[in-house]
A = this chain, B = another copy of it.
């Protein structure tokens, strides 16, 4: 499987952070995970709070492990909070079920990885992640 190269991951992160700055968002943090849920790259902007890695990683990790993007996870959490809580526990607490966790798909729809962005509103976080993924010609499922 052709995955997300480090070169592409860097571009995704850089473009996501630039999107946030251009839109006047708070300092963002962004992670790129591979198709197995493992970290390829992460960056936290100056001025972001210390614990942003865990939130970014949890947003992206839940996407990979369940195969469901952040917006759909949030809907499930609102309908059935105990399921999402139980899944989070089953994944060792590494699941943040809100927008900003975004699946990365290739042209055929295969999951190549996931991006997690945190720092502003969940919707803005997701938009920044999508901007990064768009910039490398892949498909974002927010």
Contacts and interface: CB of A to CB of B under 8 A. Distances in A.
A141 interface: no
Interface of A: 1-3, 5-6, 9-10, 34-46, 48-55, 57-58, 64-68, 74, 77-78, 80-98, 110-112
Contacts of A80: 98
A88 to B, nearest CB: 5
A113 to B, nearest CB: 10
A64 B43 contact: no
Copies in the complex: 4
Nearest to A31: B42
Contacts of A90: 54-55, 57-58, 93-96
